[in-house]
């Protein structure tokens, strides 16, 4: 597990490390600079010319220290010092004096040269104001220079908490960040401004992190140990029974993807409840699944009655439709189910017209809206949700007593408590039809395997995206389909 921090949290960790633990700021700066140098050496072994742009704060001090180290290692380095802040930090002044003593020049303009690498050390995570004037011009000029772009800690001009661009921002190919990843790197413009994020340990002690108690965390591959356990002395009944209530007339795809994903995460039995028109295609696509169908209102209610009696987990919504029959099916499920449920897709669209239905349910629920579905559920714009997603998600989960998976480029999972999970895996190739149906099936599979609800939602979301990453490696982000995610689930879970 790793923590993802806001600007204020990172500044508090830094202050605790220096003031309480007693690690000198100069030591942290030298380690930060060394981390940047090591990445540059990894990226460019030909020792091409480097431009390092700095301002008078500690981020600039990191840049000056890196310039010194690179010069000592044989890299030709030019230092562009913007020099437009009234007060420079003590550590910046120290690093500047060291450079003067060894004969390194600081330039007030950008030399008219070609550069293999451009390094941004102008502003750090503490930036909170709009970038204007000479600083805006400097950053814009850096963006125009050809060469690989590397940001120190965070791209200058990017809000470290929100990912908002404050006037302008450096566009990095790589961001070498220190200690912990920053929240703003994963939302808004941060996703594209940061490029590849490389997080380096420069010596922030665990006690400093624990003192701050960061609220956002993510899983790492070692956390796959949380997957449901399998036993030698077992049978198909040992790993749960998932009912998938999905697929309106001639709409079999979502039901298939959800059901196959559930099976692929280790479920013992999957039973599909769907419209009669989908029977033949689903039986041919997924012969392992049991099936019960309906073609009228009474038949649909009979399916619900059977599912409630049969299943250990129920998924409802993928491709279900939003007519009066599907609405009544959802109502009966919420009123009568005695097992955990995963509500997705059309189940959420039905709920958006009557949120009171959600409060009629007494069993644990996971809901999995994407941003537009969340917008319909709470009556707020996607833009409003995006700006305050953590607070909005937490409030919703707490009010309705559900586990919420808010799907986006970086999904979050919350049960209304202070800490919440953020998923860092995944890629833009997963932005394809059916990906959400696969996720619903995976989460159901985790529940059927015996995981607690909140843990199932988190590990299910993580596994879904790890499989998506493997699918992208195999098929490419342009060509991958939702079914390719399912095809790589075994690889992800076997590796655990």
Tell me the C-alpha to C-alpha distance, in Å, between residue 165 and each of 188, 200, 490: 8, 24, 40
Q: Per-residue pLDDT tens for 300-313? A: 999 999 999 999 99
As a whole number, mean pLDDT of residues 410-414 equals 97
pLDDT band at 45 (very low <50, low <70, confident <90, very high): confident
pLDDT over 60 (residue 277):
yes
Residue 360 has a pLDDT of: 86
Q: How far apart are alpha carbons 490 and 400 in whole angstroms?
A: 34
pLDDT over 70 (residue 496):
no
Q: How far apart are alpha carbons 164 and 166 in whole angstroms?
A: 6
Q: Are 119 and 50 in contact (CB under 8 A)?
A: yes
Percent of the chain with pLDDT over 70: 100
Q: What is the residue whose two structure tokens read 């239905």?
A: 357
Residue 240 has a pLDDT of: 95
Q: Per-residue pLDDT tens for 199-228? A: 999 999 999 999 999 999 999 999 999 999
Percent of the chain with pLDDT over 90: 94
Phi, psi for residue 420 in degrees, rounded to 5: -145, 155
Token pair of 52 as six digits:
């390092």
Q: Per-residue pLDDT tens for 322-373? A: 999 999 999 999 999 999 999 999 999 999 999 999 988 999 999 999 999 9
- Does the pTM surpass 0.85? The reply is yes
From the list 354, 309, 293, the residue with the least C-alpha distance to 328 is 354
Residue 495 has a pLDDT of: 56
pLDDT over 90 (residue 291):
yes
Q: Per-residue pLDDT tens for 454-485? A: 999 999 999 999 999 999 999 999 999 999 99
SS3 readout for the chain: CEEEECHHHHHHHHHHHHHHHCCCHHHHHHHHHHHHHHHHHHHCCCCCCEEEEECCCHHHHHHHHHHHHHHHCCCCEEEEECCCCCCCCHHHHHHHHHHHHCCCCEECCCCCCCCCEEEEECCCCCCCCCCCHHHHHHHHHHHHCCCEEEEECCCCCECCCCCCECCCCCCCCEEEEECCEEHHHHCCCHHHHCCEEEEECCCCCHHHHHHHCCCEEECCHHHHHHCCCCCCCCCHHHHCEEEEECCCCCCCHHHHHHHHHHHHCCCCEEEEEEEHHHHHHHHHHCCCCEEEEECCHHHHHHHHHHHHHHCCEEEECCCCCCCHHHHHHHHHHHHHCCCCEEECCHHHHHHCCCHHHHHHCCCCEEECCEHHHHHHHHCCCHHHHHHCHHHHHHHHHHHHCCEEEEECCCCEEECCCCCEEECCCCCHHHCCCCHHHHHHHHHHHHHHCCCCHHHHHHHHHHHHHHHHHHHHHHHCCCCCCHHHHHHCHHHHHHHC
As a whole number, mean pLDDT of residues 47-60 equals 96
Q: Are 152 and 176 in contact (CB under 8 A)?
A: yes
pLDDT over 80 (residue 42):
yes
Q: What is the rounded average pLDDT for all residues in the chain?
A: 96
Q: Are 309 and 315 in contact (CB under 8 A)?
A: no
Pairing of strands 403-406, 174-178: unpaired
Residue 1 has a pLDDT of: 93
Residue 475 has a pLDDT of: 95
Q: How far apart are alpha carbons 274 and 270 in whole angstroms?
A: 13
pLDDT band at 55 (very low <50, low <70, confident <90, very high): very high
Tell me the C-alpha to C-alpha distance, in Å, between residue 352 and each of 355, 373, 374, 406: 6, 8, 9, 15
pLDDT over 80 (residue 38):
yes
Residue 86 has a pLDDT of: 85
């Amino acid at each position: 597990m790793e923590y993802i921090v806001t600007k204020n949290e990172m500044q508090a960790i830094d202050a605790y490390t220096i003031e309480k633990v007693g690690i000198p700021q100069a030591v942290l700066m030298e380690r930060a600079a060394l981390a940047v140098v090591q990445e540059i050496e990894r990226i460019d072994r030909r020792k091409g010319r480097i431009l390092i742009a700095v301002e008078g704060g500690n981020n600039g001090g990191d840049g000056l220290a890196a310039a010194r180290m690179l010069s000592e290692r044989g890299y030709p380095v030019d230092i562009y010092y913007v020099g437009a802040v009234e007060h420079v930090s003590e550590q910046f002044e120290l690093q500047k004096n060291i450079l003067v003593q060894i004969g390194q020049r600081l330039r007030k303009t950008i030399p008219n040269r070609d550069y293999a690498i451009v390094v941004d050390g102008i502003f750090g995570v503490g930036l909170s104001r709009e970038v204007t004037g000479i600083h805006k011009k400097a950053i814009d000029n850096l963006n125009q220079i050809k060469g690989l772009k590397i940001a120190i800690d965070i791209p200058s001009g990017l809000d470290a908490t929100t990912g908002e661009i404050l006037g302008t921002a450096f566009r990095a190919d790589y961001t070498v960040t220190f200690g912990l990843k920053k929240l703003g790197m994963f939302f808004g413009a941060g996703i594209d401004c940061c490029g590849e994020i490389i997080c380096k340990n420069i010596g922030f002690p665990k006690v400093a992190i624990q003192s701050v108690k960061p609220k956002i965390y993510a899983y790492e591959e070692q956390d796959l140990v949380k997957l449901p356990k399998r036993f030698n002395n077992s049978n198909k009944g040992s790993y749960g029974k998932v009912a998938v209530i999905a697929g309106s007339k001639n709409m079999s795809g979502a039901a298939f993807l959800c059901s196959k994903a559930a099976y692929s995460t280790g479920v013992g039995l999957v039973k599909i409840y769907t419209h009669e028109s989908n029977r033949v295609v689903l039986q041919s696509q997924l012969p392992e699944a049991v099936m019960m169908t309906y073609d009228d209102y009474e038949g649909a209610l009979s399916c619900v009655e059977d599912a409630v009696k049969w299943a250990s987990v129920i998924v409802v919504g993928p491709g279900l439709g939003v007519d009066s029959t599907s609405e009544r099916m959802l109502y009966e499920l919420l009123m009568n189910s005695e097992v955990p449920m995963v509500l997705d897709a059309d189940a959420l669209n039905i709920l958006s017209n009557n949120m009171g239905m959600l409060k009629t349910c007494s069993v644990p629920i996971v809901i999995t809206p994407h941003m537009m579905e969340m917008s319909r559920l709470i009556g707020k714009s996607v833009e409003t949700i995006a700006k305050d997603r953590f607070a909005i998600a937490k409030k919703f989960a707490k009010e309705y007593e559900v586990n919420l998976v808010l799907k986006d480029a970086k999904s979050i999972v919350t049960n209304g408590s202070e800490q919440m999970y953020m998923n860092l895996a995944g890629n833009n190739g997963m932005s394809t039809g059916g990906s959400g149906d696969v996720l619903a099936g995976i989460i159901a599979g985790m529940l059927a395997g015996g995981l607690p609800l909140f843990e199932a939602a988190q590990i299910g979301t993580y596994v879904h995206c790890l499989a998506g990453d493997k699918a992208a490696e195999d098929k490419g982000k342009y060509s991958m389909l939702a079914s390719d995610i399912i095809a790589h689930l075994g690889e992800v879970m076997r590796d655990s």
